[in-house]
Each structure stands twice: as C-alpha cells, then as structure tokens.
Chains A and B, each alone.
Chain A
Amino acid sequence: NVEPRSVPVFPWHSLVPFLAPTQSD
C-alpha cells in the first residue's frame, strides 16, 4: 500500500513582504 503523500500548504501571508517602515522614517 502506498503511503499518502502529504502536500504542504502555505499561509497566504508568507507570499507578500512585510514592509514596516523603520523607526528612522
């Protein structure tokens, strides 16, 4: 019997940059 292969699922927010302005701004 073939082991079911688990497919990784990624959260949506891992795809977009977190661009928080640095304090100096």
Chain B
Amino acid sequence: SSLAPVPAPCNPSHFMKGAIIQLATGELKRVEDLQTQDFVRSAEVSGGLKIDSSMVVDIRASQQRPGLVSLHFNVGEQQSKVTIDVPPEHPFFVFGQGWSSCSPERTAQLYGLACHHLQVGDVCVSITLQQQLQPQQQKQPQ
C-alpha cells in the first residue's frame, strides 16, 4: 500500500487526504469528500460568514516571492480585485468541480489529495464576513 503522505511542518494538515472536517451543521466529512453544497450550507448555518464566488482572472509566478504563484481574483458581487501569493500545490475548492490547484501533481504528492488543474475562469469558494446591517437599517424591535 502506498505510504500515507506525511504533513511537513509548513503543509497545513487539514488538506491531507483523510483529514476530518467539521461542517457548521456538526456533520463530519473527509476533506476529499466535500462538495460545494457543504460550504454553502455551512455558511448559511454559521451566520457571520458569507460564501463569495471568486473568479480566477490571472495566474502568474510571484514576483515578490520566488516559488509561489500570484493568483488574481475578482471577488463577490462587487468584483473586487484581490491578489494572493500561494504555493503552487495549495488547493482551492472550485464551484461544481471540487479541489483544484496550480500543481495537481505536487498537491497529490504532498497531501495525497486528488486535484483538477486550476485555470483562469475557474470560480472558487471563498468566505468573507457577512455585512453587518447599519444601525439605521436594523429592524426596530416591535
């Protein structure tokens, strides 16, 4: 049997194949078995968090940090521009497709997690804080 990948100190172990994930509903699932609905449902239940659709608009080698990739996203209804630098093996959950990364081979090698190839145009699951209602918007107590 193939040896289970060992999480290096810098590799987050919640992406290791077989890692147990607790959804906001209390349900437990393995990271490789998660589906889009699990994230959507958890955000609904958790109250303070909101799921955003973040479209990948550009992928390039990071200028500032050699070895990392710069991912450029358009985030949420506002299509806000957000750029993050991540290791190429970092997995992202793509709506309707599942786990994807810039280097599926390295993701499989380091985490044991099967991934699609992340591409421009992919829409990833991200979270942000639920916009707090402004005081004047809050319903007056009946």
Contacts and interface: CB of A to CB of B under 8 A. Distances in A.
Interface residues on A, range: 10 to 19
Chain B interface size range: 35 or more
A15 B20 contact: no
Contact of B39 (A7, A16, A19, A22): A16
Majority secondary structure of chain A interface residues (helix, strand, loop or mixed): loop
Contacts of B6: none
B128 A15 contact: no
Contact of A10 (B20, B76, B84): B20
Contacts of A14: 12, 14
B127 A16 contact: yes
B117 interface: no
Nearest to B24: A12
18 contacts: A9-B22, A12-B23, A12-B24, A12-B34, A13-B46, A14-B14, A15-B31, A16-B39, A16-B124, A16-B125, A17-B54, A17-B126, A19-B52, A19-B73, A19-B82, A25-B78, A25-B80, A25-B82
Interface of A: 7-22, 25
